[in-house]
Amino acid sequence: MTDLPVIRLRPKAKPQAIRHGFPWVFADEAVLDRRTRALPPGGMALLEDAERQPLGVVTVNPNSKIIGRMMDRDAGAVVDRAWIENRLARAQEMRARLYDAPFYRVVHAEADGLPGLVIDRFGDAAVMQPNAAWADAMAEDIADALVNVAGVTTVILNGQGRARGLEGLPERMEVLRGDAPDAPVQVGMNGAIYLADLMGGQKTGLFFDQRPNHAFAQRLVQGGTVLDVFSHVGGFGLAALAAGAAQAICVDGSAAALKLAEGGAEAMGARDRLEVVQSDAFKALEQLAEQGRRFDVVICDPPAFAPAKPALEAGLRAYERVAKTAAPLVTPGGYLVLCSCSHAADLTAFRNVSARGIGRGGRRGVLIHTGQAGPDHPTLPQLAETGYLKSLFFRLD
């Protein structure tokens, strides 16, 4: 028998969803008595249904709208460093099968059975984002597990971002193991070289999720010209150069990100084919249209315009504006790639506003491919948030 405290579902809550794999318990689904509200954020509890039947071990955070996250469906499980090592070993083993080099997302939160925890691996270094209270509280155990199981020598904790605020967690940035890299890390993907700033870059320093979509875009380049808008460190643009693009222009608002893009192109021997433009993306698109510029491939990969349901309507309008503004810049017979990382905007809604925006931009297009994140970002079917990335490839008339 477990000696964990118990949290119980309300009689009107439906335990079937949890039994069938849904990993969250919302605050309005649980009995919130004084004892439950007093549980420490990040602690463990036994979850029971209204009939007092055990459903599994959850981590609890009374300060969050998600009061419980399923850790283990075995009601007798003990969540300690050995437990973390077991979960991490399973995640690492799958990535080692999929990728030749140790550059990938090694833990994708709920989909890898480690809720609220994201870990990206950069060779001998790992950057973790503990976006749930339990992961923040057990950060030292997670760091030890990474050293023991994955064999990394440096572990960086990047505790920044909106998700931590929703959990009531403060921002923090620490090197838990090893030493902070004194220079950006070179990462090879699809023949391109990217520079990842593990201490000062956005999120973990590099986005691995677009890797398969970079590869598909490379097949469309055929020595043409490429415009990569919201480029960050040059994701699509550098991939295009690696595939033989005659020229790539990367547009981003961050001077630091564009400097890393330039460094990646230099490392590839392609600096003379890369142009960088620091600008608001919409302003840059409008100026390029005024100049009469046209490109064989145009990619727009903006940040999440709809990070949550309250922002959905405004976010969809922004995605439509991107499509409308970008479509006129594509040569006849060229390709427009539109991406969304907003989990609140599902594929159907994003596809519809993208097509409408293309039409409002005076163009007609056919959808030739729909991409998603790579297999190092597995999707938990019961949790739409894990399948957030959508990339639409249109050919325009």
**CA separation for the pair 127, 204 (Å, rounded):** 6
Check: CB of residue 75 under 8 Å from CB of residue 2: yes
Residue 245 contacts residue 221 (beta carbons within 8 Å): yes
**Chain Cα centroid distance, residue 272:** 31
Q: How far is CA 241 from the centre of its chain?
A: 24
Backbone torsions φ then ψ of 238, nearest 5 degrees:
-70, -35
Contacts of 36 (CB under 8 A, 6+ apart): 7, 30, 60, 62, 67
Beta-carbon contacts of residue 216 (< 8 Å; ≥ 6 apart):
369, 371, 391, 393
How far is the C-alpha of 194 from the C-alpha of 286, rounded, in Å?
28
| DSSP result, 53-121 | -EEEEEEE-TTSSEEEEEEESSTT---SHHHHHHHHHHHHHHHHHH-SSSEEEEEEGGGGT-TTEEEEE
Cα separation values, 61 from 107, 134, 247, Å = 21, 8, 50
Please name the amino acid found at residue 225.
T
Tokens 């004084």 identify what position?
34
User: Which of 250, 300, 339, 341 is flagged as catalytic?
Assistant: 341
Question: In terms of DSSP bridges, do strands 66-72 and 54-60 run parallel, antiparallel, or are they unpaired?
Answer: antiparallel
Q: What is the Cα–Cα distance from 243 to 211, expressed in whole angstroms?
A: 14
The secondary element (H helix, E strand) that includes residue 145 is helix 139-145
Give, rounded to a whole angstrom, the gap between the first and last alpha carbons of the chain.
67
Q: What distance in Å separates the CA atoms of residue 316 and residue 294, rounded to the nearest whole number?
A: 25
Residue 341 annotated to the active site: yes
Q: Which residues are catalytic?
A: 341
